[in-house]
A and B are shown apart, each in its own frame.
Chain A
């Protein structure tokens, strides 16, 4: 994971340690690295194009899964049926 300064402000086109960086980015997106991850993340996204793209794709995947996956309504009788069965075993 390189942390070299990049005075030109452009992101580098190739990541020198893709495997390690992507693993880190995915852990950050999954909320597994809190404060320590934020600084690294800022640095990565500002300086590395593959990391930038990977992060945004992974984030989009998580967002659509969270917001668009169809939820099934629980059949109304299910909770009642469970309570009845419990009464039987008490």
Chain B
């Protein structure tokens, strides 16, 4: 994922890489964009910008390496650098604040909720989606990358420009926050989350 220009592709090679390695990920890219912005037009713009940038900088892409991770990194950077700046709505959680307070690798893993696996399995797609969407963007992002898109910690570290330890701890915190939201739904649905059955 280095930005160093390795070689120059011919026009034919460029088109082959674009069609064969970049375009197959448009579904995932659009869904990522939509989950970041919650807006169809903004998601379309983000995806379009990403593909145009990918084409423009195609010589810095090494053929056969992970195109999906490379594209996701461009989209994530576009979102941070451009979309957030022009967005009318300020991000709910300031990025710097998240970096400072939530990015320590030193996390104490412990039981944070009395939510039960059975209650989670019974939840509707809308409830899961709403819970995910309610998380601050940095927490939402790691869950999307890991659970929805199946990236490894190492790939996520490269996409997000953070150390692997931070990926692990941020994911843990994100899932704990998600569990809190789901626990709220479980209570509303009348599931008993406190007892052993």
Contacts and interface: CB of A to CB of B under 8 A. Distances in A.
B148 A66 contact: yes
Contacts of A20: 109
Contacts of B40: 72, 75
B31 to A, nearest CB: 6
A56 interface: yes
B29 to A, nearest CB: 8
A26 B172 contact: yes
Interface in B29-71: 30-31, 34, 40, 43-44, 47-48, 51-52, 55-56
A60 interface: yes
Interface size class of B (residues with CB under 8 A): 35 or more
A61 B179 CA distance: 8
B117 A60 contact: yes
A3 interface: no
A68 interface: yes
Contacts of A18: 109-111
A63 interface: yes
A74 B111 contact: no
A42 interface: no
Contacts of B117: 53, 56-57, 59-60
Contacts of B118: 60
Nearest to A77: B44
Interface in A13-68: 18-23, 26-27, 30-32, 50, 53-54, 56-66, 68
A32 B153 contact: yes
Interface stretch (B1-9, B77-85, B90-98, B120-128): B120-128
Interface of B: 11, 18, 23, 26-27, 30-31, 34, 40, 43-44, 47-48, 51-52, 55-56, 107-111, 115-118, 120-121, 123-126, 128-129, 132, 143, 146-148, 152-153, 168, 171-172, 175, 178-179, 182
